Amino acid sequence: MTDSFVPSKPRLRAELRVSAAGAAELHTSGGVLDVEPPDGMTQDDFVRLLSHLDGSTTVETLASENGIEDSLVREVVAPAVVWGLVDDGAVPRASSGLAVLSRLEEVFNRQLEDLIFSGPFWQAVLERPETVHHNVFYGFGLENWFFLFRENEFDAAVLALAENAEMRAMLNGFYHEEHRHDDIVVRAFRPLGVGKDDLLRARPLPTTSGLIKLLSWWARTDPMFFLATIGILEGRLDSDTVGANGQIAYDSFLSACDRVGVDADFVGPMREHARVNAGHDHASVSRELFALVPGVDEDTERRWIAKTHLFMEAYAEFFNGILDYYADPRRPLLRSVEF
Ligand SMILES: [Fe+2]
Ligand SMILES: [Fe+2]
């Protein structure tokens, strides 16, 4: 029998009594069980070992204190676990979900500065928007549409997350709030003569696809890490700025659009989506979800921290890919697929 499930600090869930004849009895609410030592163990050693299963001592210490091999302790404890007579007294080593998320966010925020805001796209949009071809602004809208249209690829993958019922309900709420956000943004492309049918025949940049596929993979293989990225993906750089037109800018991109006078019919629906997003406070989704997570172990936290850089590189590529492609006005706005 494999004994890999033996608790680190076994705790007997039954009352141990010794009969007049010296036999061990385990008294439970369901009845009395007569138990016998395995081969190679005396009755006295067996009773002494059972009496020490109080959930405060490790298997290794139990073995050395009782002068027996670890394997013999496991041989006694493993069948008792199977019968539901032993649980674990060890205190789980874990940090609260929010504590882990705040450490992750610290890393994310540093990477946002190092990889995203200092990268070519955001440097151009934030520092010298007047030098940026308007197609880059439109391209940002288009690639965001591709992302939103495919968002169900990753959001749907976490709907059945079994972590707990409250979290599942929250994820369902988020999914419904996100549903058809692409239809808000699609209206932004009317001034470009681009409708939904045209978009359906077009393909995103490889850098946009890369981000979508990476998130889809994580949503399926490491869903909690994916949930940690939502706060970044939904977060706005700057939620209070009033743009040049006197409207709330909602984010730095819209503020730059205002500064350089990008077509108002394009900016309006983009602002509408940002307003809806801010209204639902989607930048806080990760925190609300992680507040429901009772504990995260150290190895898991380390694994998530190790993944942050790849996520942020893919996110940086999403932005920089837009500048790379759309800055050349000879290139078509839509990369249509011919069937
Ligand atoms: Fe959205
Ligand atoms: Fe959102």
Residue 20: burial class (beta carbons within 10 Å; 0-12, 13-18, 19+): exposed
pLDDT at res. 164: 87
Q: Please tell me the number of the ligand nearest to residue 180's CA.
A: 1
Residue type (1 letter), 167: M
Distance CA 288, CA 231 (A): 10
Whole-Å CA distances, 228 to 97, 187, 235, 283, 318: 10, 30, 12, 11, 18
Q: Please tell me the number of the ligand nearest to residue 273's CA.
A: 1
**Could you please report the per-residue DSSP string of 16-82?**
EEE-TTS-EEEEETTEEEEE-PPTT--HHHHHHHHHT-BSSS-HHHHHHHTTS-HHHHHHHHHHHHH
Q: Please tell me the number of the ligand nearest to residue 184's CA.
A: 1
Q: What is the DSSP letter of 328?
A: S
Residue 196 neighbours by CB distance under 10 Å: 14
pLDDT at res. 221: 97
Residue 50 neighbours by CB distance under 10 Å: 22
Residue 129 neighbours by CB distance under 10 Å: 20
pLDDT at res. 187: 96
pLDDT at res. 241: 64
pLDDT at res. 188: 97
Which residue from 85, 78, 73, 72 is spatially nearest to 34, judged by alpha carbons? 85
28 CA from centroid of ligand 1 (Å): 55
Which residue from 203, 202, 210, 204 is spatially nearest to 317, judged by alpha carbons? 210
- Please identify every residue whose CB atom is under 5 Å from ligand 2, which is an ion: 234, 277, 282
234 CA from centroid of ligand 2 (Å): 5
169 CA from centroid of ligand 2 (Å): 16
**What domains are there in the chain, each with its CATH number?**
10-88 (3.90.930.60), 97-326 (1.20.910.10)
Handedness of CA 81, 82, 85, 88 (dihedral sign): positive
pLDDT at res. 22: 85
pLDDT at res. 242: 67
For 24, phi and psi rounded to 5 degrees? Answer: -85, 135
Q: Please tell me the number of the ligand nearest to residue 174's CA.
A: 2
Angle at 294 between CA 308 and CA 55, to 5 degrees: 120
Mean pLDDT, consecutive 10-residue stretches, the chain (339 aa), reads 82 95 91 92 94 96 94 93 93 94 96 94 94 97 97 94 89 93 95 96 97 98 97 73 65 91 96 89 93 94 98 98 98 88
Residue type (1 letter), 91: V
177 CA from centroid of ligand 1 (Å): 7
β 24-28/31-35 pair status: antiparallel
**248 - beta bridge partners?**
242
Q: Please tell me the number of the ligand nearest to residue 283's CA.
A: 2
